[in-house]
Amino acid sequence: MADVCIALGANLGDRRANLRSALRAIKDVARIVAVSSLYETDAVTPDGSEGPPYYNAACRVETELEPLPLLGFLQSVERHIGRPPSRERWAPRPIDLDLLLYGDDIVETDDLTVPHPHMAERSFVLVPLAEIAAEILHPVLERTIAEIAREAGAAGVRRVAETGWESATG
């Protein structure tokens, strides 16, 4: 079983429902160990344009799937929830699932890089991830997620629901 961390984000449609749907689907291939609080962040684009704000969370799971089949599964979940097949960066989306960490493995293929190559720059990923995986050592940076998150800061990341949001009604 691999210890895996996944980032979840949504900024179109019923954001919370989309994230809950993704978590329910993930249970088909993994045992969910932890889910972070729910956060809201402003959409960030390289050209400075604005989009709908994101809901962001992270989950930690145990799975027997290898990294590439897991990526394929996550992409199928995105399509099922309504993400168009084109993976245009920075575009608004009903769901975004990113494979952040796969144990202490380093994976570099044309389709997948793990650890996620931009996670250390993204507070909206690190704040929720540090809640559920603070002690994990980033296999490339050789620092804990908590250390990386402290360095990145939490500017613009607003908690909107405590842990348990994924199973609460409303």
Catalytic pick from 79, 96, 143, 150?
Answer: 96
Q: How far apart are CA 92 and CA 59, in angstroms?
A: 21
Catalytic pick from 98, 105, 110, 111?
Answer: 98
Active site residue 158: no
Catalytic pick from 15, 16, 20, 93?
Answer: 93
Active site residue 96: yes
Tell me which residue has tokens 């179109």.
12
Burial level of 111, CB count in 10 A (0-12/13-18/19+)?
exposed
Structure tokens at 158: 């607003």
**Ranges of H-type helices in the chain:** 15-26, 67-81, 123-133, 145-152
Length of the chain: 170
Catalytic pick from 3, 83, 104, 150?
Answer: 83
Active site residue 105: no
Q: How far apart are CA 11 and CA 95, in angstroms?
A: 7
What CA–CA distances, in Å, run from 115 to 41, 105, 135, 165? 22, 8, 15, 26
Q: Which residues are catalytic?
A: 83, 93, 96, 98
